[in-house]
Amino acid sequence: MSGKRIIIIGGGISGLTAAWELTRRGREVVLLERRDVLGGLARSAPLNGKPLEVYYHFICGGDRHLVELVNELGLADRLHWRPGRTSYFVNGRLYPFTTPLDLLRFSPLSLTSRLRFGLHALRCRRMTDWHVGRQAYEVVWRPLLEIKFGRYCDKISAPWIWHRIHRYSQSRTSPLRPEQLGYIEGGSHTLLTALCESITARGAVVHTGVAALSLNCSGQEIQGVETSNGYYEADKVIAAVPLPELIELLPASSEYAKMLSQIQFSSVACVRLALRRSLTDSFWVNVNARNVAFNGFVEYSNLNPGCEYGGSDVLYVPFYFDSSDKRNRWPDSRFIKSAIQGLQLIHPGFGQDWVEEAVLNRDRYGQAICPPGFGERVPALRAPIQGLYVLDSTQLYPADRNLSGMIKLARLVGQMIAAGE
Ligand SMILES: Cc1cc2nc3c(=O)[nH]c(=O)nc-3n(C[C@H](O)[C@H](O)[C@H](O)COP(=O)(O)OP(=O)(O)OC[C@H]3O[C@@H](n4cnc5c(N)ncnc54)[C@H](O)[C@@H]3O)c2cc1C
């Protein structure tokens, strides 16, 4: 391969959005995606013949950059907002946890803790106070953090926790109403397909099933990328891959690789169930029960009605764990069994006969672990190698990983390159 150009490594939302920003500014782009499908963590796999996300994705009221992109791609009429109901399974019972009245009736917390929790949620819409009280932390917050961080749950930085509450609180139009959450008809697949069509129509070359193997630098300047499909010369390279994947592309001895390797990630394994019947009326159910192997589940059809998926009810059960956890060696069937057993404990009527399809999806780098001081380790958009740019969810800190934030950063990188910065 010859000719100088911009190579984008990674065909998730970040890589595709960067390609979109660059091609609309007339730049020549080649995008390389290792998998056979685009989308990264937002990829889809079929259910009843239609693409369905392997992991649940919803949109919050403050996800401005995603909504803008949806509008610019002409997809505004496919974006819908609906109440996102939440429940808590605790002390062997399912409690609604959506409105202030639900909170007042939430007997697992003392009255004082309920009032304190409610006031805290209100204040989080505007302020940076995250102190919610010990009991509310143990009953409500701890299981939520355990979902994502497992044994690291007590080490997560306060700004990250506050930002998470704040993002949700921005989805409420009034403290008395449930949060309004968004979804795109056809899921993230609709957005990713529109992006791919738009960039290829403007001349971008998209290769799926092609992995970047190493970055070729002369001195501290990028020259090209060695791939499973040969060598590609490049002026600029955007690495829109999780940081541990970027480390693999750098010389092992590089100081930059050493710096990046300080950031730890949890793996994610997520059971996607297609059910014959609905389990709850909630979109999000937090679980605080010792005999259940997971800390929550997402009944996606309660946000995006199941008619799209041939009438099946779609439910996700996520598991997060670090690299030393024995679950890294579990076969898919073990996660599926744990999910089904847990759901049986939560809803005694639930049984195997409800299940039309059960599949497990995994990603080794599902979520960065953000202990105090994390902000100092986050890499800049511009790497210390000239011509190399980096896009990774850690750069959203203290915000949690999310599509909208990555769209913002990817557009920024596209604009920086187009402006010759
Ligand atoms: C369970 C789960 C639920 C989520 N829910 C939400 C939600 O509700 N709302 C929301 O906004 N966000 C959600 N997210 C977060 C969102 O999915 C991510 O923030 C976003 O998809 C990250 O996109 P990305 O392009 O930066 O990275 P990725 O999606 O990780 O894409 C990186 C791509 O690079 C490719 N790649 C890696 N190495 C190489 C290589 N050497 N050569 C070529 N290609 C390579 C990978 O295959 C992948 O396709 C969720 C994530 C998970 C895991």
Ligand 1 atom at minimal distance to the Cα of residue 35: 47
Residue 153 has pLDDT above 90, yes or no: no
> Per-residue pLDDT averaged across 260-266, rounded?
94
Nearest CA to ligand 1 atom 2: 55
CATH superfamily of 6-57+187-263+371-418: FAD/NAD(P)-binding domain (3.50.50.60)
Q: What is the mean pLDDT of the chain?
A: 89
Q: Are 113 and 158 in contact (CB under 8 A)?
A: no
Cα 242 from Cα 411, distance rounded (Å): 18
Tell which one of 7, 41, 396 to mutate to probe ligand 1, the residue whose CB is within 8 A of the most ligand atoms: 41
Q: Which atom of ligand 1 is nearest to the CA of 210?
A: 43
Q: Is 393 helix (H, G, I), strand (E, B) or coil?
A: helix
Q: Give ranges for CATH 3.90.660.10 in the chain.
A: 80-183+265-368
Give percent of the chain above pLDDT 70.
86
53 lines ligand 1 (CB under 6 A): no
Q: Tell me which H or E stretch contains 188.
A: helix 188-201
pLDDT of 306 reads 62
> Looking at residue 365, what DSSP letter applies?
E
C-alpha to C-alpha distance for 295 and 292, rounded to whole angstroms: 8
Where in the chain are all domains bearing CATH 3.50.50.60? 6-57+187-263+371-418
Closest of 6, 14, 28, 94 to residue 412, by C-alpha: 14
Buried/exposed 309-344: b ≥16 CB within 10 Å, e otherwise: beebbbbbbbbbbbeeeebeebeeeebbebbbebbe
* pLDDT score of 42: 98
Tell whether the model's pLDDT for residue 103 goes beyond 90.
no
Rounded mean pLDDT of 38-62? 93
* pTM score, whole prediction: 0.90
CA of 41 to the centre of ligand 1 (A): 3
**Which pLDDT tens digit goes with each residue over 232-241?**
999 999 999 9
pLDDT per residue as tens digits for the range 105-143: 878 877 787 777 777 666 665 544 555 566 777 777 776
Which tens digits make up the pLDDT trace of 333-385? 999 999 999 999 999 899 999 999 999 999 999 999 988 889 999 999 999 99
pLDDT of 305 > 90? The answer is: no
Query: For ligand 1, what atom is nearest to the CA of residue 392?
Result: 26
Which atom of ligand 1 is least distant from the CA of 316? 1
Of 3-7, 81-85, 169-173, 225-229, the range with the lowest mean pLDDT is: 169-173
pLDDT at 335: 98
- Structurally, what CATH architecture does the domain formed by 80-183+265-368 represent? Alpha-Beta Complex (3.90)
Cβ(179) – ligand 1 distance below 6 Å: no
E strands, 125-243, in order: 180-184, 205-208, 212-218, 221-227, 230-233, 236-239
Cα–Cα distance for residue pair 404/246, rounded to 1 Å: 22
Residues 6+ apart with CB under 8 A from 46: 52
Looking at residue 2, its pLDDT comes to 37
Residue 1: band (very low, low, confident or very high) from pLDDT cuts 50, 70, 90: very low
